[in-house]
C-alpha cells in the first residue's frame, strides 16, 4: 500500500484583525510579512492575547520595526518575561523595504498592521500602506453604508 500523499497547502489561521484601520485609513496596498517573535510571544499569539489598535510600523536603518503591538504575557512563561509593547522586527527583502520607504517619503503614507495570522507554523502580519482619512471621508463612508443598508431593506420588503 503506497504512503498517503502530502498536501502542499499550508493551514492559515487568522488570529486578529485591525477593524479600526479600514475606518481610519485609505488602504493603498497590502503585503504579507513575517515577524520576529520570542517563544512565549508565539504562545500568547496562539492564545489570541494581543491588541493591535494603536500599532504601526516604522522604517529605521533600512529595517522595518512594528511598534505599539501589545502581546500580553504568557501565563506559564516561567523565567522568560518579555515587554508586551517592545518593538518587533518585520521580515522583508531589502528591495521591498526600499520600495516602501520611497512611497512613504514621497506620498506621506503610513504602515499599519491589518491582521495577524499563522501561515503554517509561522506568524505573519498583513501590513497595509495607508493614507489617513479626514473626518468628512469617514462621514461619507458611514452615509454610503447606511444608504446601502436602506436599499437592501426596501428591496427585501418588496418580495
Report the mean per-residue pLDDT for the chain. Answer: 86
Is residue 2, in this structure, part of any structural domain at all? no
pLDDT digits 0-9 by tens, 3-16:
666 656 678 888 88
Is residue 128, in this structure, part of any structural domain at all? yes
Is residue 6, in this structure, part of any structural domain at all? no
Number of domains into which the chain is organized:
1
pLDDT digits 0-9 by tens, 16-48:
888 888 888 889 999 999 999 888 888 888 888
Is residue 151, in this structure, part of any structural domain at all? yes
138 against 112, higher pLDDT: 112
Average pLDDT over residues 91-110: 90
> Which CATH number goes with the domain that contains 56?
2.40.280.10
Domain extent at residue 43: 12-158
- Cell numbers at 88, concatenated: 518587533
**Gyration radius of the chain over CA positions:** 20
* Residue 68 pLDDT: 92
* Residue 23 pLDDT: 80
Strands (E) located in the chain: 12-17, 25-35, 50-51, 56-60, 63-67, 70-71, 88-91, 110-119, 122-132
pTM of the predicted structure, to 2 decimals: 0.75
Amino acid at each position: 500500500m503506497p504512503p498517503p500523499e502530502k498536501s502542499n497547502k499550508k493551514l492559515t489561521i487568522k488570529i486578529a484583525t485591525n477593524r479600526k484601520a479600514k475606518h481610519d485609513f485609505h488602504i493603498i496596498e497590502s503585503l504579507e510579512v513575517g515577524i520576529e517573535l520570542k517563544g512565549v510571544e508565539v504562545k500568547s499569539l496562539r492564545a489570541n492575547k494581543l491588541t493591535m489598535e494603536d500599532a504601526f510600523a516604522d522604517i529605521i536603518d533600512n529595517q522595518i520595526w512594528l511598534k505599539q503591538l501589545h502581546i500580553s504575557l504568557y501565563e506559564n512563561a516561567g523565567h522568560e518575561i518579555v515587554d508586551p509593547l517592545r518593538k518587533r522586527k518585520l521580515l522583508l527583502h531589502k528591495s521591498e523595504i526600499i520600495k516602501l520607504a520611497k512611497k512613504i517619503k514621497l506620498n506621506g503614507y503610513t504602515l499599519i498592521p491589518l491582521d495577524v495570522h499563522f501561515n503554517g507554523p509561522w506568524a505573519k502580519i498583513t501590513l497595509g500602506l495607508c493614507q489617513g482619512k479626514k473626518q468628512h471621508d469617514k462621514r461619507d463612508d458611514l452615509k454610503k453604508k447606511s444608504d446601502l443598508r436602506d436599499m437592501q431593506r426596501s428591496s427585501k420588503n418588496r418580495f
